[in-house]
A and B are shown apart, each in its own frame.
Chain A
């Protein structure tokens, strides 16, 4: 790299140079896109396609339920319809939609040129597309999941769902979830590190705060479901009885794991929508948001409380009374931080000079519908009422009021708000207003009446009903409402197409917003900002018109194109002080390749071709080596100029670079999965029937050698980093790690083979699962050490450029800690089981 600040060319030349570096090529090269604007749009469009599919399924459901004793679809198909409707809406529409919005908007709002890991963004998208396609295509073959969107065992267990319907759900959803967790890690790191210089945390726009909290909730909320799905698939495919009460398992463990994810999930869906509202309301109220600090405190409170509510989905399963009270109290308390936000929004409108436009209409819809959903939520939080309304249509009404109110209405507002940003055109057609009223009236007609059918005793998930319960006309009206709602959505879709096709072009900042996303040309260019801003005030109070012109002229940071590299800036997490230069990877087909291979693992597992699954798993890991092969620098560079007279080091030469933080959050997600596994083992011990087991799992001597080897490996990994820091030859140390990790794999394999038959009892199965977890981590450590060697051979490691070694240290430390905990638990199990004598 050169020591002189490259010259800023004329704006047009700068645009051409940057476009050449950042742009996505034509034709097939589109498959190599890694750009956040492109991928964000793909996520949102795909999510809308799935929304349409989910909506179509809803219409079929309503057609069937419109009249009593209907024979439009039979019970088997009906089971698939509602299961797929719920699954598609939750996993394939809501989550990806919010991810897409965040991927598209965040770099633009934070003043960066892209997200922290563009290839990961693309990989996440392909995983989502392939996973979603597997799930939806299963419908065409009549083998779609049919055990409800929460897949309760034993209904979803092998004896009661012998086909591949449940496997499709477990594997397909896990595939999509992995994509969601990777997106969450990427969003977290981007918000914490890739902000414009000067954007200290207290200057961050609220949308970024919302997305930070949401992404962290995903990091900690999704692993319990991923674990649950893996355990259930292990039970279905290999007979390990985690959920089988006759062999020491417990169906309630599935419910705990599912809702540990499932309840936070509802807030994961709501919070980004609330973030969009917090961005739009100040624009239309023409004043800054009221209660910036209180809102941040409220969303953090919401995030935590939402993890303490999961048992309110299980109030009727037989849980100690006091525990019911804990969860009931937490469920009621969660309304308070929600209300704080609602009052902050109302206060902003009350203190501002509100002006009306289409997004505000949908925000009005949001207020009405969401508040009703919130109130029925507080009703359902009360145990006695819950026990009456459980599994009735009252719950269906409540969940749609919160999901449609808290997500769909805000997203429709967001579409109208940001579509001009995406298309560069503004709406000229007035069908937006009738579309809104059809949606609003249709929605309330459909779902308000379900409160009544629910209170009159109509259970959810029934394919038909007799005509003597007084539910007939309510159901008919509800179905009529559903079709009015659909007409509204159809009109909405027409409106969008018209806007795409005939909307008038406008100059910048159509809504007079005050956030950075409008300080750029619309449609946005691939590189977002021709030069990066310096932020000197809260980033929701800037003047995009003035700033946008300056940035386009290259007057900010990095107002030049250097060495054909995609460059953006990273800052200190808290103060926003300029910290280092980030060089992002260029467009590549690798994410598509890796996602294709991952999809092949899923398909092979689905069709029980386990050898194929192993081969593709190895191929997937190998493809990740290809990702890593050329990232980084082969020479030390030292600080380089970034404009404005400032010099900073490149990312590979600093300690807290983005990959390092990504590893920290990935291990946090992994740690949650491990904690859930430990919880599962202890839960079964404490409450599952058919304990104590006839046979104790004793992996023998090997059990204790494995964690010792893990500790040694972690010490050697640190030693390798130390040698490198002093400029010495660290390759022998890395070789030693490869050997020790290989030995650990052998030791754990021996421990596994020393176990009694793991299908005999859940105790043995959980011990096998903990050992399997250790095995996979030792294999991961092996790969990290190999990667270090590969990078060292390529010249990518030096005393200054030590990232591959430091990542290996993190992994090995984590493996050692979980290895010790796992071994201690396995070692303590005989004693714990002994304590059960006389009690159970």
Chain B
């Protein structure tokens, strides 16, 4: 067998996109809960939530860009399963990005609290 090595932590590329999604989801939900409990003014809360959404979308976008660039430059030539992990990682980042938009859209218009 060859000595080529793909470190185990490369597997984390697979859940990377949706981990960012999950972090965004938790932070948005928690901020909303705290905002409502402490009766923050609606505009302040909305502003914060929009900023959080944009922050996470930016993070997701940057991660997608980095993984994609790595795949284009290196991974195609790397030993298996590195290319597969990158491809699935890119799919995951792309779909998590779309899912993040889906979850964040209500931030723009929906009323905040009960």
Contact = CB atoms under 8 A, between A and B. Distances in A.
A301 B114 contact: no
Contact of B92 (A301, A330, A835): A301
Contact of B112 (A200, A294, A322): A322
Contacts of B34: 686
Contacts, number: 130
B79 to A, nearest CB: 7
Contacts of B113: 320-322
Given A575-B80, A577-B1, A297 B10 contact: no
Interface stretch (A303-311, A617-625, A696-704, A786-794): A303-311
Contact of A574 (B1, B8, B37, B95): B8
Given A574-B85, A577-B1, A304 B112 contact: no
B102 interface: yes
A301 B37 contact: no
Contacts of A656: 8
B18 A329 contact: no
Contact of B38 (A200, A202, A839): A839
A574 B10 contact: yes
Contacts of A646: 1
Given A330-B103, A839-B38, A320 B33 contact: yes
A578 interface: yes
A818 to B, nearest CB: 19
Contacts of A336: 95
A141 B84 CA distance: 56
A293 interface: yes
Given A329-B102, A839-B38, A574 B6 contact: yes
A505 B45 CA distance: 70
A332 B105 CA distance: 13
B4 interface: yes
Nearest to B94: A297
B91 A304 contact: no
A319 B32 CA distance: 10
B93 to A, nearest CB: 10
Among B25, B49, B88, B111: residue with most chain A CB under 10 A: B88
B1 A197 contact: yes
Given A201-B85, A297-B95, A321-B112, A308 B25 contact: yes
B7 interface: yes
A202 B37 contact: no
B114 A321 contact: yes
A333 interface: yes
A155 interface: no
B21 interface: yes
B5 A575 contact: yes
A79 B36 CA distance: 37
Contacts of B10: 574
B33 A323 contact: yes
B18 A300 contact: yes
B96 A575 contact: no
A573 interface: yes
A322 B111 contact: yes
Interface string A336-374: 110000000000000000000000000000000000000
Interface residues of A, number: 44
User: What band does the interface of chain B fall in when counting residues whose beta carbon is under 8 Å from A?
Assistant: 35 or more
A325 interface: yes
Interface string B18-55: 11011001001100111011110000000001000000
B59 interface: no
A502 interface: no
A201 B11 contact: yes
B99 interface: yes
Nearest to A682: B30
Among B7, B28, B38, B84: residue with most chain A CB under 10 A: B84
A297 B91 contact: yes
B58 interface: no
A326 B29 contact: yes
A293 B10 CA distance: 16
Among A198, A329, A575, A578: residue with most chain B CB under 10 A: A575
A27 interface: no
A326 B11 contact: no
Given A297-B95, A323-B29, A574 B81 contact: yes
A687 interface: yes
Contacts of B28: 326
Contacts of A318: 114
Contact of A329 (B5, B15, B105): B105
A573 B36 CA distance: 46
Contacts of A573: 8, 11
B25 A300 contact: no
B112 A305 contact: no
Given A202-B84, A322-B111, A296 B5 contact: no
A201 B81 contact: yes
B69 to A, nearest CB: 19
Contact of A687 (B2, B33, B106, B111): B33
B32 A323 contact: yes
Contacts of B95: 297, 301, 336-337
A296 B103 contact: no
Nearest to B107: A322
A297 B37 contact: no
Contacts of B91: 293-294, 297
A200 B81 contact: yes
A308 to B, nearest CB: 5
A575 B6 contact: yes
A336 to B, nearest CB: 8
A322 B42 CA distance: 11
Contacts of B111: 321-322
Given A297-B95, A575-B5, A320 B18 contact: no
B87 interface: yes
A201 B84 contact: yes
B79 A575 contact: yes
A117 B92 CA distance: 32
Interface in A731-776: none
Nearest to B2: A577
B22 A293 contact: no
Given A320-B36, A574-B6, A296 B14 contact: yes
A325 B110 contact: yes
Interface string A553-591: 000000000000000000011110110000000000000
Contacts of A687: 33, 37
B99 to A, nearest CB: 5
Interface in B58-114: 79-85, 87-88, 91-92, 95-96, 99, 102-103, 105-107, 110-114
Contacts of A577: 1-2
Contacts of A200: 80-81
A203 B85 CA distance: 12
A303 B22 CA distance: 11
Contacts of B39: 839
Contacts of B99: 301, 305, 330, 333
Given A304-B22, A320-B36, A325-B110, A575 B4 contact: yes
Interface of B: 1-2, 4-8, 10-11, 14-15, 18-19, 21-22, 25, 28-29, 32-34, 36-39, 49, 79-85, 87-88, 91-92, 95-96, 99, 102-103, 105-107, 110-114
27 contacts: A200-B80, A203-B80, A293-B87, A297-B88, A300-B92, A301-B18, A301-B92, A301-B95, A304-B19, A308-B103, A318-B114, A319-B114, A320-B36, A321-B113, A322-B32, A322-B49, A322-B106, A322-B110, A322-B112, A325-B106, A333-B99, A337-B95, A574-B81, A575-B6, A686-B34, A686-B37, A839-B39
Q: Which 9 A-B pairs have CB atoms at the shortest separation, nearest pair first?
A: A325-B106, A304-B18, A297-B91, A202-B84, A202-B81, A574-B6, A201-B81, A200-B81, A573-B8
Given A304-B96, A319-B114, A572-B5, 6 more contacts: A297-B91, A301-B92, A329-B106, A330-B102, A332-B102, A574-B82
